[in-house]
Structure 1
Amino acid sequence: MKAPEVDGRLRAPLCWLFAPRCIVCGDPGMPGRDLCAACRAGLPWQGHACAQCALPLPEAGCCGQCLQHPPPLDAVHAAFDYAFPLDRLLPRLKFHRDFAAGRVLAHCLAERFAALPRPDALVPLALHRARLRRRGYDQALELARPLAKALDLPLRDNLLHRHKATVAQSRLDADARKRNLRGAFSVLAEAGLPAHVVLFDDVMTTGASLHAAAVALRKAGVSRVEAWVCARVA
C-alpha cells in the first residue's frame, strides 16, 4: 500500500516543529545539523600541533618529547583541543548516552579529516568486554562508524582486541598509564592485515592507550600506524 502523502499545508509547520536545535546554545541549527554556525565556528579546532602526538604547539613541527623518544605512531591528528565546549560534549556521549552529541562530533570529524591520506582501515580503540558490558556501548565506535561511512573508509572494529581489563586511565599518572596498558591489546588478523591503519579514539591524554595498540599492530605486521582523535588534552 502506498504511504499517504503529507498535505503541503502541513509540511512547513512540521519542518518548523522538528527543526534541528544547536546542542551547545539551543538556537536553531544549520540545515540538517544540531549545531549552529556560530557555535561551529567557536569550537576549539586544533591549530598548530606536534605531527607525532598532536600536542598543541606555537608552530607546526615535532615536540621535544617526540624528537627524543619517537612514539610508535607515525602521525597523530586531532580535530580539537580538549577545551570548552568539547570538554562537555564528549562526556555527554561517553557517560550519558548523548548520541546527538556524537552525531555532531562525527560530522565535524569527517570535515576535519577528509583531506588526510586515506588508510587501508579505520580501527576504533577497543573497550574491554567488561567495560563495554557496564556501559552498554563503545563511544569510540559510535564516532568511528559514521566517520568511516562519511569518508568511505573500511571500518575494522574486529581487528584489535582488548583482552586485559585495565584500571581507568583517568586515575593514573603517565608512568602508571604505560604499565597499566602493557600487553593489553592483541590483533585478530584472520580476515587479512591492512598495511596502513588509522587508530581512532575520542580523547588523547598521554597517548598510552594508543601507543599500546600501535605496538600490538606493529608486532602483528602493520607497516604504518597513525591515529585520529576527536580531542587532544594539552
Structure 2
Amino acid sequence: MNNWLNIIQNKWLPPRCILCNRPGFADLDLCNACFNDLPLNNFCCYRCAENLSNASNSAQLCGRCLTNTPHFDETYAPYLYQHSMAYLITQLKFGHQYKHARLLGSLLAKYVSASAELPECIIPMPLHHNRYQERGFNQSIEIARHLARLLDISLDLHSCVRQRDTVQQTSLPAAQRLKNMRKAFSMAKPLKFQHVAIVDDVMTTGATASALALTLKETGISRVDVWVCARA
C-alpha cells in the first residue's frame, strides 16, 4: 500500500529540492547536485562518530572514547554538521520546517539500512516538557517517525522521560556536559528489547546520548546504538 501511495505522490507531487528547488531524485526532496554536496562523515570513531583526520579501513576509536568510554555502543552519523546539513537541521529545529524532517529521516534511513545492524526499536531523544512547550515540537520525534516507517521498526515515544530540565548543552564546555546530564532521564516503563537505537538530529560530545544509554542499560537492555543525522 505504501509503495502505491509513494508512486501516486511522486507522479502528482514530484519531489523538489529543498535547497535549490530543482527536481528531486531517488524520492528525495533534494537534487543530485545538492545531495553530492552534503558534507560526509566518512572517517570517524565507530563509538561516537567523531570525525578523524587519518583515513583507515579498520574500525577506530577516538582518544576521548579510549579515555572515557560512553555508555552507548556505536554511533551512525553519515554527515558533518556543516554547510547545507547544518542549514537543514537548524531550519527544522528553530524554523519548524517539518519537510526537513522527512528528508533527514530518508537520508538517515538510507545510510543505516546499508551500514548498521537494525535494532528492535528506535527511541527519539526526549525533551523535557518545559522545552517541548517552548519549542512546540520535538525534532527528533519528527525524524524518527519517518525512520520507523521507512525501516519498519517499532517506535517508542513514551517509555523514556527527560525528568530534569537541564541547562542547554551548547552553553557548556565539554567537561561540564557529563555532569549536567546526570540523572537527566528516567524510565516510565521498562522496554522488552535487547537492542535499541537512540535517534537525534545532531551529536556534539555525546554526553546526552550517553546519559540516556546508561538509563536504558540499567533496565536490562544490552545494546544501545545512536543514530544522528550529523556529527558536530
| Length-normalised TM-score, structure 2 | 0.88
Deviation at 1:197, TM superposition (A): 1.2
For 1:138 and 1:130, the matched residues in 2 are separated by 12
Provide the aligned C-alpha RMSD in A: 1.6
For 2:180 and 2:67, the matched residues in 1 are separated by 23
Residue 25 of structure 1: aligned partner: 20
Query: Which SS does the other structure have where 2:155 is aligned?
Result: coil
For 2:134 and 2:75, the matched residues in 1 are separated by 29
Within the candidate set 23, 41, 44, 2:39 is matched to 44
Q: Read off the aligned partner of 1:51 and give its amino acid letter.
A: Y
Residue 56 of structure 1: aligned partner: 51
Conservation of the 8 A alpha-carbon contact between 2:112 and 2:118: no
For 1:31 and 1:202, the matched residues in 2 are separated by 22
Q: Read off the aligned partner of 2:225 and give its amino acid letter.
A: E
Residue 175 of structure 2: aligned partner: 175
For 1:170 and 1:161, the matched residues in 2 are separated by 21
Deviation at 1:132, TM superposition (A): 0.6
Residue 85 of structure 1: aligned partner: 84
Deviation at 1:139, TM superposition (A): 0.2
Deviation string 1:187-226 (CA, Å, 9 cap, x unpaired) is: 2225x43111111111100111101101111112111111
For 2:24 and 2:220, the matched residues in 1 are separated by 45
Residue 68 of structure 1: aligned partner: 67
Q: Read off the aligned partner of 2:231 and give its amino acid letter.
A: R
Deviation at 1:141, TM superposition (A): 0.4
For 1:186 and 1:209, the matched residues in 2 are separated by 13
Deviation at 1:144, TM superposition (A): 0.6
Query: Which SS does the other structure have where 1:178 is aligned?
Result: helix
Deviation string 1:64-119 (CA, Å, 9 cap, x unpaired) is: 22122221111111021111111111000001110121111111111111131011
For 1:170 and 1:101, the matched residues in 2 are separated by 22
Q: Read off the aligned partner of 1:50 and give its amino acid letter.
A: C
Deviation at 1:176, TM superposition (A): 2.0
Unaligned segments of structure 1, at least 5 residues: 1-13
Deviation at 1:32, TM superposition (A): 4.2
2:221 corresponds to 1:222? yes
2:91 corresponds to 1:97? no
2:124 corresponds to 1:124? yes
2:166 corresponds to 1:166? yes
Deviation at 1:51, TM superposition (A): 0.7
Larger radius of gyration between Structure 1 and Structure 2: 1
Query: Which SS does the other structure have where 1:230 is aligned?
Result: strand
| Length-normalised TM-score, structure 1 | 0.88
For 2:49 and 2:73, the matched residues in 1 are separated by 11
Query: Which SS does the other structure have where 1:132 is aligned?
Result: helix
Query: Which SS does the other structure have where 2:83 is aligned?
Result: coil
Against the structure 1 CA distance between its residues 83 and 68, is the aligned structure 2 distance closer, same or farther, given a 3 Å change threshold?
same
Q: Read off the aligned partner of 2:23 and give its amino acid letter.
A: P
Unaligned segments of structure 2, at least 5 residues: 1-10
For 1:212 and 1:157, the matched residues in 2 are separated by 17
Deviation at 1:45, TM superposition (A): 2.4
